[in-house]
Amino acid sequence: MHSSLLVPADSNQRLKKLINAAPCMLFMKGSAQDPRCGFSRQIVALLKTHGIQFSSFDILSDEEVRQGLKAYSNWPTYPQLYANGELVGGLDIVKELAESGELENTCPKAVTLEHRLKTVINKSSVMLFMKGNKEGARCGFSRQTLELLNDTGNAWWCSKKGRARVTDEIRATIIDHVINHGL
Amino acid sequence: MKVSYITSLAFIYTHFFSDMAITADHIKDKLIKELAAVHVDVEDTSQNRCAASFKVLVVSPQFEGKQLLQRHRMVNTCLADELKEIHAFEQKTLTPEQWEKQKAQ
Of residues B92 and A9, more confidently modeled: B92
Q: Considering the domain A9-110 in this protein, what is its CATH number?
A: 3.40.30.10
pLDDT of residue A183: 47
Low-confidence ranges of chain B (pLDDT < 50): 14-19
Subunit contact B72:A39, Cβ cutoff 8 A:
no
Please tell me the distance in Å from B69's CA to the nearest CA on chain A. Answer: 6
Q: Which residues of A touch B92 (CB under 8 A)?
A: 92
Q: ipTM value, please give it.
A: 0.74
Share of chain A above pLDDT 90, in %: 46
pTM above 0.80, yes or no: no
The residues spanned by each domain of chain A are: 9-110, 114-181
pLDDT band at A157 (very low <50, low <70, confident <90, very high): very low
CA A142 – CA A91 distance, rounded (Å): 52
Q: What is the mean pLDDT of residues A42-55?
A: 94
Among candidates B72, B80, B84 on the partner chain, residue whose Cβ is nearest the Cβ of A92: B72
- The predicted-structure confidence for A70-126, as pLDDT tens digits, reads as follows 999 999 999 999 999 999 999 999 999 999 999 988 887 776 666 667 777 777 777
| Nearest residue of chain B to residue A95 (CA atoms) | B92
Q: Which residues of B touch A97 (CB under 8 A)?
A: 68
Does residue B73 belong to the interface with chain A, where contact is any CB pair within 8 Å? yes
Partner A, chain B 7-66, Cβ-Cβ below 8 Å? none
Share of chain A above pLDDT 70, in %: 74
Of residues A174 and A77, more confidently modeled: A77
